[in-house]
Amino acid sequence: MAARGDLGPADEEQLEADAANAGIGFARTPLVCVIDADSIVEPDSLLRASEPFMHDDGRLVAVGGAIRVANGSRVEGGSLQEIRISRDFIPQFQVCEYLRAFLTARVANAHTNTLMLISGAFGLFRRSDLIEMGGYRHDTVGEDLELVTHIHRHMREKKRPYRIAFVPDIVCWTEAPASLEGLANQRARWQQGALETLSFHRRMIGNPRYGRIGMLALPQMILEDLLGPPAELIGYVLIPLAVLLGILDPMAALVFFFVSVVFGCGLSVGTLALEEHQLRRTPTAKDLLRIGWAAIVENFGYRQLNLWYRLKGVKRYLKSDSTWAAVPREGFNA
């Protein structure tokens, strides 16, 4: 496929995808781990990630794990010493998002082999498969999403049985954007990357040749990433208008909003408690309260900001603007 990266040395002006491809080409081991520079893996994460490969019959191509927000936690010598929830709202909101994304949806997707993303923050891959496919594509700002989509496409076109796994007790800690500027750049890039991936692999959409990926996973991406932002924007306009015009009962609108808030709050708090129990860590009451409060407050401004940033990503995609917008980092607390 065109625009795949060169698996050779990278220079300072090349992109993240080129640097990852250089590492893949340089490696001599059967497995390669791709990890962001601003991420911290727990001591046994690599062992846990490699274990599924040891018990596999050769079908396993990649393994991903849960990504957790490290903002507010105590880090010493590159090691996470104490887990804390940040006092700032922006990281707290992202804790809620990451919990919902990594410990609910992706577990189900992996079970049906429809996992479409292994985060660039941490992933373990079979090197021979990556080399065969040409590595990461460098003409997209969403190279991690595009790579996994390409894995599905490549394996199905070759008619080879394969599997992409997600192990929730593999934990990688990352520094989430702590400012609105950083959040805006990240979410616009994610949105643009999703649209680019859909465009690159549009022949798969609705194509029975690609099984669940073409008939289920990619159409779901269309609903979420292509139709989702304009539909949400229209909803913010039409629902208040319908209430004002008497078309929609105000009480029905309030009940619907209340149920959605309670569901989101319960999902975030419950997921945090279950994950900490699985990892044999006890979340403090203060942490649970912070997450519960953030899951409520995120509906009043944060979701709307996210929508605006996603619409900016749509605009960047339509303009074919592939400039990498940097996310300002404050660094881990040492």
11 lies in some domain: no
Considering 181-185, 235-239, 283-287, the range whose residues carry the highest mean pLDDT is 181-185
Q: Which residue has the higher pLDDT, 223 or 279?
A: 223
Q: For 71-93, what is each residue's pLDDT tens digit? A: 988 888 778 888 888 989 999 99
CB neighbour class for 55 (10 Å; exposed up to 12, middle 13-18, buried from 19): exposed
10 lies in some domain: no
* CATH number, domain containing residue 297: 3.90.550
Q: What is the DSSP string of 262-280?
A: HHHHHHHHHHHHHHHHHTT
The dihedrals phi and psi of 29, each to the nearest 5 degrees, come to -100, 155
Query: E strands, the chain, where?
Result: 31-35, 39-41, 60-69, 74-76, 79-82, 122-126, 163-174
Q: What is the pTM of this model?
A: 0.90
Which structural domain range is residue 163 located in?
16-318
> Which of 157, 160, 152, 82 lies closest to 110 in space, CA to CA?
152
Q: For 34-81, what is each residue's pLDDT tens digit? A: 998 888 998 888 999 999 999 888 899 999 998 989 998 888 877 888
124 lies in some domain: yes
Our count of domains for the chain comes to: 1
- Give the integer Cα–Cα distance in Å for 19 and 84: 32
Please name the residues in contact with 210: beta carbons below 8 A apart, sequence gap of 6 or more.
Answer: 152, 153, 156, 204, 218
Please name the residues in contact with 23: beta carbons below 8 A apart, sequence gap of 6 or more.
Answer: 32, 34
